[in-house]
């Protein structure tokens, strides 16, 4: 009785899986880079630059990989020269200060134009996806 073993699809599937994970990460990081640039523009447009520490600290956080997807958060990181968290400064500027007596509202420089940010990020991710597909098809 003849016996044959074919391992091609398994090997191809494992290589494709690694390639797909790398592509997903590249696409997500392209969107994160676009988000960083758009956030820098917003900080300048709303004139939230005193020392420049908060603006300079806006960067992608750690990349997280799930089943067939990936994500990364973009936010001001670290502390300024006085030890104040840049993320806390951005939060207070965006949402304001709560409380009954000081109810100062923020200017929503982060959350006020969510649709524009989504368009910018989606466009960057689509462009990166198109580039990767073109590379996969052998084009430059």
Parallel, antiparallel, or unpaired: how do β-strands 104-105 and 96-97 relate? antiparallel
Q: Is residue 42 part of a domain?
A: yes
Please enumerate in sequence order all residues whose Cβ is within 8 A of that of 29, keeping only pairs 6 or more positions apart, or say none: 60, 63, 72
pTM as predicted: 0.80
Parallel, antiparallel, or unpaired: how do β-strands 64-66 and 96-97 relate? unpaired
Domain of residue 27 covers 16-77+110-136
Tens of pLDDT, residue by residue over 3-56, are 433 444 555 455 566 678 899 999 999 999 999 999 999 999 989 898 899 999
Q: Is residue 69 part of a domain?
A: yes
Q: How many domains does the chain have?
A: 1
Q: Is residue 23 part of a domain?
A: yes
Looking up tokens 């523009």, which residue turns up? 41
Q: Is residue 100 part of a domain?
A: no
Where helices occur in 46-137 by DSSP H, the ranges are 53-56, 86-95, 114-136
Q: Is residue 121 part of a domain?
A: yes
Q: Is residue 83 part of a domain?
A: no
């Amino acid at each position: 009785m003849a016996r044959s073993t074919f391992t091609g699809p398994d090997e191809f599937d494992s290589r494709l899986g690694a390639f797909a994970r790398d592509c997903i990460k590249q696409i997500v990081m392209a969107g994160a880079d676009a988000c960083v640039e758009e956030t820098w523009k917003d900080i300048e447009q709303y004139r939230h630059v005193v020392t420049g520490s908060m603006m300079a600290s806006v960067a992608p956080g750690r990349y997280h990989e799930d089943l067939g997807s990936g994500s990364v958060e973009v936010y001001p990181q670290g502390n300024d020269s006085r030890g104040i968290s840049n993320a806390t400064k951005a939060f207070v500027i965006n949402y304001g200060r709560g409380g009954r007596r000081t109810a100062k509202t923020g200017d929503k420089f982060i959350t006020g134009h969510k649709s524009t940010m989504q368009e910018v990020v989606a466009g960057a991710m689509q462009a990166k996806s198109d580039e990767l597909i073109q590379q996969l098809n052998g084009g430059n």
